[in-house]
A and B are shown apart, each in its own frame.
Chain A
Amino acid sequence: MASRCGAVAVGLLVALVAGCGAGPVGRADLESALALTFDHLYGVQQQRLGRPAAHDAGASATCDKGGPTVPDQGTGEDWSCLVSFVSVDGALHQVTYELQVRTDACYRASGPPSAVIGAPRLATPEGDLDNPLIEFDGCTQVL
């Protein structure tokens, strides 16, 4: 009797995990996570540069995996995302990030050092600090 109850409980759990379980990371999941993370990190970068942090970069992202023929979902190193944002001076900028999406629904984003997001190291009032926008880790909500 007890073992039957146990088996039923484990079966229910499997169904629950499978049913409520997060699916593969989709394009929308990645886009919303990346845009939000970029917003936050832009604020951190500006703060490190000694500029007012109370600026909303209003970032948005458009992601694609492996070109037009590959479905835009799942893990891989072939994700590419275009992030659009408004800098402190009010100008609209765009920067492309290469993303590695892992099976744990987290990702690593790498952007090219440029005039848009800056150099890998920032010359700040407190000395050289890492530029948080060059390379960063994040997780989607599909955990």
Chain B
Amino acid sequence: MSATPDLTPDAGPVACPHPQASGTADRTVRLGTAVRVEVAKLVAQRPARALLTLAVIGPVLLVAALRLQAGLPKDTLLGRQVRESGLAPSLLLLGFAGQWLLPLLVALVGGDIVAGEDRHGTWPTVLTRSCSRVTLLWAKVLVTAGWVLAVVLALAVSSLLAGLALVGTGPLLSLSGEPIPPGHGVLLVLAAWASVLPPALAFAALAVLAGAVTRSTALAVGVPVVLALVMVLLLLVPGLGPARHLLLASSFSSWHGLLTDPTRLWPLVRGSLVALAWAGVCLPVAFTVLRGRDEPGG
């Protein structure tokens, strides 16, 4: 499949309306067109397709491996339950996902979506073909957010189904020792996965910023992943106090509150606010950097 966007005739104008044309409707059409182009570009990339496939197959292999191996991953929260409850493997994966897996999966696309144009030297092309710089950047941000949703959904559904199919529907013991019936447990696991969306989106914003600043895909992917690992290490420092909650790595574990008795929802709110703040700082800076660039044709 070529990287040429495949636009159906009724999907709106291929070329945007005149950039100077104002009006919300025009802007929406232009953004819609730009999003479709960016989606087509992402879907055309073999690494992106491979990563999404991995996000579907990987959890199945993980659950199968946990099922077959002799020992239990007791060092991880809920790890001792991976052969008793089909819900536990999904939450075990969720624990790892927040440490480095999600930042990596998110940064691989979020970092390349901006820096890739530098890598291929295609800024002049996209900026002449597309609309204003801001519209194009919004399209890239929206497509990255869609990628984050797709990856989290793939990991969540795949690990949950694999767990229920290979381990069974035994009750999960909560973080207060209470047996959670499978029906309610499935909802809790899905809610737990949903709770990692805000920090994952914040890491995507970090990757977009890193791509805008460094113009290098390798750095745009590497910087968020290294930052994620540094944050995980910082969380281990006892002297950090409440400041630890300002780290995105802490937002990734806010789902623990869903599994205690009584349920603690404040960590989820706090984690989402913190993630929003990270994205709220990263994205405007990324936009400023990219708008300030001197690109031919822009």
Interface residues of A (CB under 8 A from B): 2-3, 6, 9-10, 13-14, 16-18, 20-24, 33, 36-41, 44, 74-75, 103-104, 106, 129-130, 132, 135-141, 143
Size bracket of the B interface: 35 or more
Q: Is B242 an interface residue (CB 8 A)?
A: yes
Q: Is B210 an interface residue (CB 8 A)?
A: no
Q: Which residue of A lies closest to B240 (CB)?
A: A103
**Alpha-carbon separation in the docked complex, A103 to B281 (Å):** 27
Provide the residues of chain A in CB contact with B6, threshold 8 Å: none
Q: Which residue of A lies closest to B246 (CB)?
A: A17
Q: Is the CB of A75 within 8 A of B238?
A: yes
Most buried by A among B176, B241, B281: B176
Contact among B173, B177, B241, B280 for A39, CB-based, below 8 A: B177
Q: Is the CB of A137 within 8 A of B80?
A: yes
Contact among A2, A10, A139 for B175, CB-based, below 8 A: A139
Q: Is the CB of A103 within 8 A of B177?
A: no
7 tightest Cβ-Cβ pairs between the two chains A and B: A21-B242, A40-B177, A37-B177, A41-B177, A139-B175, A40-B178, A143-B267
Provide the residues of chain A in CB contact with B253, threshold 8 Å: 104
Q: Is the CB of B270 within 8 A of A20?
A: yes
Q: Is B264 an interface residue (CB 8 A)?
A: yes
CB contacts between A and B, total, < 8 Å:
110
Q: How far is the CB of B178 from chain A (nearest CB, A)?
A: 5
Per-position binary interface string of chain B over residues 214-247, scored 1 when its CB falls under 8 Å from any chain A CB and 0 otherwise = 0000000000000000000001111011111110
Contact among A18, A23, A74, A143 for B264, CB-based, below 8 A: A143
Q: How far is the CB of A36 from chain B (nearest CB, A)?
A: 6
A-B contact pairs, 26 of them (CB 8 A): A2-B284, A9-B277, A9-B280, A10-B277, A13-B274, A16-B270, A17-B274, A21-B245, A22-B242, A22-B245, A33-B260, A36-B261, A38-B177, A40-B174, A40-B176, A40-B177, A44-B177, A103-B240, A129-B84, A130-B80, A137-B77, A139-B176, A141-B260, A143-B254, A143-B260, A143-B264
**Alpha-carbon separation in the docked complex, A106 to B250 (Å):** 13
Q: Is the CB of A135 within 8 A of B284?
A: no
Q: Is the CB of B242 within 8 A of A44?
A: no
Q: How far is the CB of B180 from chain A (nearest CB, A)?
A: 11
Provide the residues of chain A in CB contact with B174, threshold 8 Å: 40
**Alpha-carbon separation in the docked complex, A11 to B4 (Å):** 45
Q: Is B273 an interface residue (CB 8 A)?
A: yes
**Alpha-carbon separation in the docked complex, A98 to B296 (Å):** 66
**Alpha-carbon separation in the docked complex, A6 to B285 (Å):** 11
Q: Is the CB of B236 within 8 A of A103?
A: yes
Q: Is B78 an interface residue (CB 8 A)?
A: yes
Contact among A10, A40, A130 for B281, CB-based, below 8 A: A10
**Alpha-carbon separation in the docked complex, A39 to B173 (Å):** 12
Q: Is the CB of A106 within 8 A of B256?
A: yes
Given contacts A38-B177, A137-B80, 14 further A-B contacts (CB under 8 A): A10-B280, A17-B245, A21-B245, A22-B242, A37-B176, A40-B176, A44-B173, A132-B177, A138-B177, A138-B260, A139-B260, A141-B260, A143-B254, A143-B264
